[in-house]
């Protein structure tokens, strides 16, 4: 059986959990990650030298980096199409979430969503929120174009990463511009049977 190490409060862990649920795979999850269980131990670092979650264990095979895990699990499924161009678009938006979007929200999300102590520099919050909002406008334009999902007409791995990111956007205590296509997308992705537990039970 697949093993997934990581706490459900981590968006990167939830990306993997939603993927396995979409695929109907059986797995066992173990809580790792602060404050539940410190991954910065010799035991955990032997699996992932970064001391970060998620980690996937498939028999003898160990894999870290949430996007690599998602791709490994989804290979051969409609979540990661075989056609080069269709796949490249999934990769594009999956990578965009992990780099551009993740970087944009990093300070504002800690301050306004997680309300973590120490994130109280108003100028940095405002700057991060400005960049985050600009990125959300890019997603809005893309969704207006496709009328459905990030990579096109079909639900894919990109929508798992972006669906959870939109959940984070709506989970914050701040004023948001009205993005009609993002609103509709949020409803569309979270209504999927496999998605529900990862929105309902989760910290954005």
Ligand X SMILES: N[C@@H](CCC(=O)N[C@@H](CS)C(=O)NCC(=O)O)C(=O)O
Residues that bind ligand X (CB under 6 A): 10-12, 33-34, 39, 52-54, 65-66
Tell me if residue 51 falls in helix, strand or coil.
coil
| Residue 137 to residue 171: CA distance in whole angstroms | 17
Closest separation in Å from C-beta 79 to ligand X:
17
| Residue 178 to residue 4: CA distance in whole angstroms | 36
Whose CB is nearest to ligand X? 33
| Residue 136 to residue 166: CA distance in whole angstroms | 9
Closest CB to ligand X among residues 125, 161: 161
Closest CB to ligand X among residues 164, 179: 164
| Residue 180 to residue 187: CA distance in whole angstroms | 11
Closest CB to ligand X among residues 54, 163: 54
Closest separation in Å from C-beta 189 to ligand X:
19
CA distances from 126 to 54, 139, 174 (A): 30, 20, 10
Closest separation in Å from C-beta 190 to ligand X:
20
2: burial class by Cβ within 10 Å (0-12, 13-18, 19+)?
A: middle
Closest CB to ligand X among residues 53, 90: 53
Closest separation in Å from C-beta 121 to ligand X:
21
Determine which helix (DSSP H) or strand (DSSP E) holds 2, and give its type and residue range: strand 2-5
Closest separation in Å from C-beta 54 to ligand X:
6
87-126 per-residue burial string, b: 16 or more CB within 10 A, e: under 16? bebbbebbebbbeebbebbebbbbbbbeeeeebeeeeebe
Closest CB to ligand X among residues 14, 135: 14
Closest CB to ligand X among residues 52, 143: 52
Closest separation in Å from C-beta 84 to ligand X:
24
């Amino acid at each position: 059986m697949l093993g997934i190490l990581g706490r459900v409060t981590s968006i990167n862990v939830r990306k993997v959990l939603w993927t396995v649920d979409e695929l109907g795979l059986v797995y066992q999850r173990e809580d790792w990650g602060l404050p539940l269980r410190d991954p910065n131990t010799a035991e955990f670092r032997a699996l992932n030298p970064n001391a970060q979650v998620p980690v996937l264990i498939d028999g003898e095979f160990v894999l870290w980096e949430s996007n690599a895990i998602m791709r490994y699990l989804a290979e051969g499924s409609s979540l990661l199409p075989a056609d080069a161009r269709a796949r490249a678009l999934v990769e594009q938006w999956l990578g965009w979430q992990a780099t551009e979007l993740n970087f944009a929200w990093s300070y504002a999300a800690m301050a306004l969503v997680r309300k973590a102590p120490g994130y109280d520099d108003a100028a940095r919050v405002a700057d991060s929120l400005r960049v985050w909002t600009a990125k959300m406008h890019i997603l809005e334009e893309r969704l207006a174009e496709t009328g459905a999902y990030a990579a096109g007409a079909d639900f894919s791995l990109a929508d798992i990463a972006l669906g959870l990111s939109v959940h984070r956007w709506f989970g914050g205590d701040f004023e948001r511009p009205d993005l009609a296509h993002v609103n509709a997308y949020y409803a569309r992705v979270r209504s999927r049977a496999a998605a529900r537990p990862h929105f309902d039970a989760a910290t954005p």
